[in-house]
Amino acid sequence: MVSDASKKKAAQKKAAAAAKRGGKAASATSSSSSNGVNKVSNGMDALILSDRTCTAVLTSHPQSRDIHIESLSLTFHGHDLIVDSDLELNYGRRYGLLGLNGCGKSTLLTALGCRELPIPEHMDIYHLSHEIEASDMSSLEAVINCDEERVKLEKEAEELAALDDGGGEQLDRIYERLDALDAATAEKRAAEILFGLGFDKKMQAKKTKDFSGGWRMRIALARALFMNPTILLLDEPTNHLDLEACVWLEEMLKKFDRILVVVSHSQDFLNGVCTNIIHMQNKKLKIYTGNYDQYVQTRSELEENQMKQYKWEQEQIANMKEYIARFGHGSAKLARQAQSKEKTLAKMERGGLTEKVANDKVLVFRFTDVGKLPPPVLQFSEVTFGYTPDNLIYKNIDFGVDLDSRIALVGPNGAGKSTLLKLMTGELTPLDGMVRRHNHLKIAQYHQHLAEKLDMDLSALEYMMREYPGTGEEHMRSAVGRFGLSGKAQVMPMKNLSDGQRSRVIFAWLAYRQPQMLLLDEPTNHLDIETIDSLAEALSEWDGGLVLVSHDFRLINQVAHEIWVCENQAVTRWEGDIMGFKEHLRKKAGL
């Protein structure tokens, strides 16, 4: 009989060969498309791969539907992100991947998606990393267009059927997959998914090239859900969704019965979707059972016990060292006891001592207090607006915003939330009515497109000093440091920072202007959970006015005192809190 050790060795060799083949297989598959665009993208992939190195060993059976990986190490731009850790992905489980900004969550997803980790060949992976390409294809066609996969699967099925054992379980899985891609039901399923993500009949027929990047990202998400892969990797899937689509997606992913790994900054979303949490900390991966709230509780209990054990051990060591120092050279009896304690101490150290609990670095955001302006600070009187006179977004709206206002704007995409913010800043002018601003009012607006204005070749420090000339370097270091960027992160080129770290540079840039009113349009995109909590705390303590557009139910719950609903050309106040509004959306969607 073959020993377990030799079986394991053989499995490891197979895994190493599969990992090598992974790169070749990927290029072989893509070359079958043989068009110029794919060649260029393959070249780009090669460039990206050179930034990352990954080593790992598959210890689960190559034909198993569960994945167990040991000795996983991941390096990016020469920095160690994960060192000698284990990863477990079991079929039927939904994993939330957590960690501070810049710890390597997206890099790990990319390594999984590119099969740089030893993933068994029979498991198909879909990594949602970028929006669908702009083309003449309609959004519905773009979702259904999975012909390449169907052809590949049919070929695999033929090869397996020709084998002596008739293909076995693997062939069953391929037929199951082909059924899922069945053209007869494909259009209906794709239309249902698109509808859930906010596409009506008219939008489903619209060409993908006529959609903005955010909407094309939704089409890519719809395709990922339609394909129903064995392993689905989603990086911040809620970033381009409104609250209604977030509620729908949460319900959809709750039913996903394969392997899901999702990076999300929304605690509410992670609570609804996840069965397990993977926490990236100190270059290790630790897996917890349960959703986000259960993870917080379990982690807190484990860390409390670890800290008790650590303190007890340290007290024992201190007592033993003191005894050895005092009586090591005393009478024979005391010297023997001191030697015994020395041996006990050496044995404790050899067995491995409990480490001190490493707490996550808690960031403290700070906005400078601005004092008060007498109301009315910002007044809308009978305002009517539309990008064309025959297609109005708002009609005769009246309201006022003051420095003690804490307002969250909610409503479906296209209802005009971002438009309302632009009317407040004066970027847009009403067709009728008037927007009055206090003469001394300073408004700062955060939106996603600010990241495009950053010069990626400059460091955060250089960028801030260029934007605000005449400021001393030490003073600017402190201004950037207030938003959690310190040391190396301040002086490295911004192209090497994570999206979340770049968002912090934008917050530092906005806060330096010392505005009296902040208009925040999806401020949580790319921020980690700890940073969002710091932002919420800073906003709660700040004395200026706030108008917030966000798909993060928890942030709205933390900072907003009023919920305003934008729809049907009007702005109306919701009588209740944001969780009541979420329940209203769930009922409205029939979920």
Residue pair 271/292 in contact by the 8 Å Cβ criterion? yes
Q: Give me the long-range contacts of 569-576 (CB less than 8 A, separation at least 24).
A: 569/392, 569/393, 569/394, 569/395, 570/394, 570/395, 570/397, 571/394, 571/397, 571/399, 571/409, 571/420, 574/410
Most confident of 30-39, 277-286, 346-355: 277-286
- Amino acid at site 513: R
Alpha carbons 408 and 401: distance in angstroms, whole number: 12
Alpha carbons 449 and 159: distance in angstroms, whole number: 49
Per residue in 558-576, pLDDT (tens digit) is 999 999 999 999 999 999 9
Backbone CA torsion sign across 541, 542, 547, 549: negative
Fold of 378-588: Rossmann fold (3.40.50)
- Confidence band for 550, pLDDT divided at 50, 70 and 90: very high
Nearest 5°: phi and psi at 214?
Answer: -60, -40
Sheet holding 259-263, edge to edge: 125-128, 231-235, 259-263, 94-98, 276-281, 284-289
- Structure token pair of residue 490: 């301040």
Reply yes or no on whether the pLDDT at 556 is more than 50: yes
The DSSP call for residue 376 is P
Per residue in 421-446, pLDDT (tens digit) is 999 999 999 999 999 999 999 999 99
Per residue in 170-202, pLDDT (tens digit) is 888 888 777 766 766 888 889 999 999 999 999
pLDDT at residue 43 in the model: 47
Per residue in 391-424, pLDDT (tens digit) is 999 999 999 999 999 999 999 888 899 999 999 9
Per residue in 512-523, pLDDT (tens digit) is 989 999 999 999
- Amino acid at site 512: Y
Per residue in 250-277, pLDDT (tens digit) is 999 999 999 999 999 999 999 999 999 9
- Confidence band for 146, pLDDT divided at 50, 70 and 90: low
- Confidence band for 25, pLDDT divided at 50, 70 and 90: very low
Number of Cβ within 10 Å of residue 102's Cβ equals 21
Angle at 35 between CA 29 and CA 38, to 5 degrees: 60
* Torsion region of 576: left, alpha or beta (phi above 0 gives left; psi -120 to 50 gives alpha): left
Region 229-233 average pLDDT: 94
- Structure token pair of residue 48: 């990206």
Region 295-305 average pLDDT: 94
Angle at 247 between CA 249 and CA 397, to 5 degrees: 130
Angle at 236 between CA 232 and CA 239, to 5 degrees: 130
Residue pair 474/422 in contact by the 8 Å Cβ criterion? no
- Confidence band for 336, pLDDT divided at 50, 70 and 90: confident
Reply yes or no on whether the pLDDT at 6 is more than 60: no
Per cent of the chain over pLDDT 70 is 89
Domain ranges of the chain: 300-351, 378-588
Per residue in 466-491, pLDDT (tens digit) is 999 988 889 899 888 888 788 888 99
- Structure token pair of residue 371: 């004092």
Alpha carbons 129 and 133: distance in angstroms, whole number: 12
Torsion of CA 22, 23, 26, 32, to 10 degrees: -120
Angle at 376 between CA 374 and CA 377, to 5 degrees: 80
pLDDT at residue 420 in the model: 96
Please write down the HEC assignment for all residues of 89-117.
ECCCCEEEEECCCCCCHHHHHHHHHCCCC
Residue 573 forms beta bridges with which residues? 564
- Confidence band for 131, pLDDT divided at 50, 70 and 90: confident
pLDDT at residue 201 in the model: 93
